[in-house]
């Protein structure tokens, strides 16, 4: 397991959150915005274990829930679950590889965004959007997060000085 101090990880989550709320909102890719909180949850879950993974996910999700006006706890639940699952199987992946970051970020984004999408649209007066829109939004958003995940994970790897020797 890699050594990451808990307070540094939480500080990084907080910085990512403020960046998400202010800087990232300027980046609009056809009405899609990247979700840095998913990427950072995946990163910490991947480089620690399921115990810290679910905690990092819970903190990320809780921050999003505090600033939402919808059902409280939805983000916390899915982010914590995602962090736990990624953390539990993290030792099965080649963690330094950008391909791993891409695939896991994509899977995590899909896992988190899909139920949220359905929950949001249950109350849509015009009915559930068609499958094409699901693909265009959830799938596209997950793909966007994955590409950005490669860059952010590479950046965080340098910041936290994580490599196979740092055990």
Partner 1 sequence: MVKKPRLIIVIAIIAIFIWAIFAPTGILQHLRAGLANVARLPLKIASHSFNYIRRISRLPYVDTEKLELRQRVCELEKKLVELEESRLENKRLRSLLGFKQKARKYSVTALIIGRYPNNWSSIIFIDKGRDDGITKDMVVISGQGLVGRVGEAGKAMSKVMLINDIDSKVGATVQRNRDQGLLIGTPEGECRLIYLSLDSDIKKGDKILTSGMGGIYPKGLLIGEVTRVAKERGRLYKYAVIKTSSELSKLEEVLCIE
Residues near partner 1, by CB under 8 A: 18-26, 28, 31-33, 35-37, 64-73, 76-77, 113, 116-117, 120-121, 123-126, 129, 133, 137, 141
Closer to partner 1 by Cβ: residue 104 or 144 = 144
Closer to partner 1 by Cβ: residue 40 or 162 = 40
Dist. CA 7–CA 67, nearest whole Å:
22
Closer to partner 1 by Cβ: residue 128 or 151 = 128
Least CB distance to partner 1 at residue 42 (A):
16
Residue ranges in 68-127 assigned as alpha helix (H): 74-88, 98-122
Closer to partner 1 by Cβ: residue 100 or 142 = 142
Q: Which residues of 150-167 are buried (b: 16+ CB within 10 A; e: fewer)?
A: bebbeebbeebebeeeee
Q: Report residue 84 as tokens.
A: 């736990």
Nearest to 108 by CA among 10, 39, 24: 39
Q: What angle do CA 159, 104, 31 make, to 5 degrees?
A: 90
Least CB distance to partner 1 at residue 19 (A):
7
Closer to partner 1 by Cβ: residue 10 or 121 = 121
Least CB distance to partner 1 at residue 110 (A):
13
Least CB distance to partner 1 at residue 150 (A):
19
Least CB distance to partner 1 at residue 116 (A):
7
CB 2 within 8 A of CB 162: yes
């Amino acid at each position: 397991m890699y050594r990451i101090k808990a307070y540094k990880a939480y500080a990084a989550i907080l910085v990512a959150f403020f960046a998400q709320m202010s800087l990232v909102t300027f980046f609009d890719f056809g009405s899609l915005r990247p979700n840095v909180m998913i990427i950072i949850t995946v990163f910490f879950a991947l480089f620690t274990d399921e115990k810290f993974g679910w905690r990092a996910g819970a903190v990320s999700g809780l921050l999003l829930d505090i600033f939402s006006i919808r059902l409280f706890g939805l983000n916390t639940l899915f982010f914590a679950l995602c962090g736990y699952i990624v953390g539990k199987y993290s030792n099965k992946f080649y963690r330094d590889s950008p391909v791993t970051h891409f695939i896991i970020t994509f899977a995590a984004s899909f896992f988190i965004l899909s139920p949220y999408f359905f929950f949001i649209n249950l109350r849509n007066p015009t009915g559930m959007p068609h499958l094409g829109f699901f693909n265009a939004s959830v799938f596209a958003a997950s793909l966007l997060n994955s590409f950005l995940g490669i860059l952010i994970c590479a950046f965080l790897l340098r910041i936290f000085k994580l490599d196979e020797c740092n055990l």
